[in-house]
Structure 1
Amino acid sequence: MKHLPLIFVRHGETEWNRGGKLQGHRDIPLNAMGRRQAARNGRALASLIGQRDWDFWASPLDRASETMRIALREAGRPDQAFRTDDRLREITYGEWEGMTLPHLFEHEPERMKRRDQEKWLFQHPGGESYSMLSDRVAAWLSELHGPTIVAAHGGIMRVLLHLIGGMSTDAVPFLYAPQDRILVFTARQVATI
């Protein structure tokens, strides 16, 4: 694959992450912990990026773009430019953005049951499904021309694990997406650092 290796960095923590709220397309800034996580990930990147030519991308949402800026500074590339692409935005939860899962289980039990039974295809009310998210990320991947570093969201990480890592659509939507680690996709493996 022409875009490998690909290094994925999830954005650092926000107050909505801390409170368990679904963020989706809401533009919530990093909190202090999130900035520390981004710095940690930047230090981890420093040993990986070396002198190789990389393409740098981020979601246009502030929490991902700020993560990329902090990570690049910590990796020794404070002036490195990066591009943003709307296709790298988090999955949109539509009407559910700003709500917590416990609230939804209490107030939307039937929809949540359907969601958990077929999470890949479940379309959030007024939002997207993971299948729809996968289609837009696949379109972005198809346009890459070389080794890539991207800062984005947990949903993006999950669909990359499906599209590049070959993980099942039954399992991938349920995976934990750490904010203090990076994923490295190569032709042979996926590694967490």
Structure 2
Amino acid sequence: MTPSRPTIYFIRHGETDWNLEGRLQGQKDIPLNDMGRVQAEEAGRRLAALAPRYEDLAYVASPMTRTRETMEIMRRTMGLHPEGYKLDERLVELTFGAWEGMTWKEVRKAEPQLASLREQDKWHYAPPGGGESYAMLVERIRPFLYDLTRDTAVVAHGGVARAFLSMACGVSTRQAASLDIWQGRVLVIEGRSYRWV
């Protein structure tokens, strides 16, 4: 990646009931809860304070309900038309396959050997039932990063943020797979560096 790549303002979708319960959402289409809506407003305030010309940014979201809700609340909070953004299928969360809807505790109880294999190499392990690994997710979203031509606000998912940090900032795959990706905040990716606001 070249240092002149546009700045990315990454916002993870707000909280859902499944986040609260520790359930693996993946590509299950779960809506925001009340806290998630508050977090979307907070992300909007942070982004408006951070980017002085925020109305000139490109805005792109994953097509899932929780990301679209977050984007629309965020834009409304910033005084922008809520629907003035694009969707990109490449930004959907990685799928946990047969494990979606389960908590990690339930996964470890039901399939201890497979859970152990994932813990040993979170980046490359793909869960059973058509699950994706982070490595597979990187290949899906790499073209999205290369296609960016201007500073962009992206509303997507925790897995997508980890893939961005690995690709754009050189964060090691082991570290990226375990990073906390905060809700209600903005992850600013500039060149090879990143910071939370």
Inter-partner Cα distance in structure 2 for 1:72 and 1:128:
31
SS in 2 for 1:115: helix
Cα distance in structure 1, aligned partners of 2:87 and 2:123: 25
Tell me the TM-score normalized by structure 2: 0.94
- The match for 2:167 among 163, 166, 170 is 163
Alignment partner of 1:38 is 2:40? yes
- Is the 8 Å Cα contact of residues 169 and 193 (structure 2) preserved in structure 1? yes
**Coordinate RMSD, CA, aligned:** 1.3
Deviation readout 1:40-83 (Å, 9 max, x if unpaired): 01000112232263111000001001101111111221356111
Give the aligned length: 193
What does residue 102 of structure 2 align with? 99
Note the 1:73-112 alignment, pairs <5 A: 73-79=76-82, 81-112=84-115
Normalised to the residue count of structure 1, the TM-score between the two structures is 0.95
Q: Distance in 2 between matches of 1:128 and 1:3?
A: 27
1:192 counterpart = 2:192:
no
- Secondary structure in structure 2 of the residue aligned to 1:164: helix
Q: Gapped runs of 5+ residues in structure 1? A: none
Equivalent-residue separation in structure 2 for 1:79 and 1:106 (angstroms): 43
Which amino acid is the alignment partner of residue 56 of structure 1? Y
Query: Which letter maps to 1:93?
Result: F
SS across alignment from 1:45: helix
Letter matched to residue 52 of structure 2: G
1:69 is paired with a residue of what secondary structure? Answer: helix
Measure, in 2, the Cα distance between the counterparts of 1:4 and 1:116.
34
Q: What is the letter of the counterpart of residue 161 of structure 1?
A: L
Partner of 1:59: 62
Distance 2:180 2:82 in 1: 32
User: 1:164-183 counterparts in 2 under 5 A?
Assistant: 164-183=168-187
Per-residue CA deviation, residues 60-118 of structure 1 (Å, 9 max, x unaligned), is: 00100110111111122135611111110001001110000000111111001110111
Structure 1 distance, partners of 2:25, 2:153, is 23
Q: Which moved more, 1:70-79 or 1:132-141?
A: 70-79
5+ unaligned residues in a row in structure 2: which ranges? Answer: none
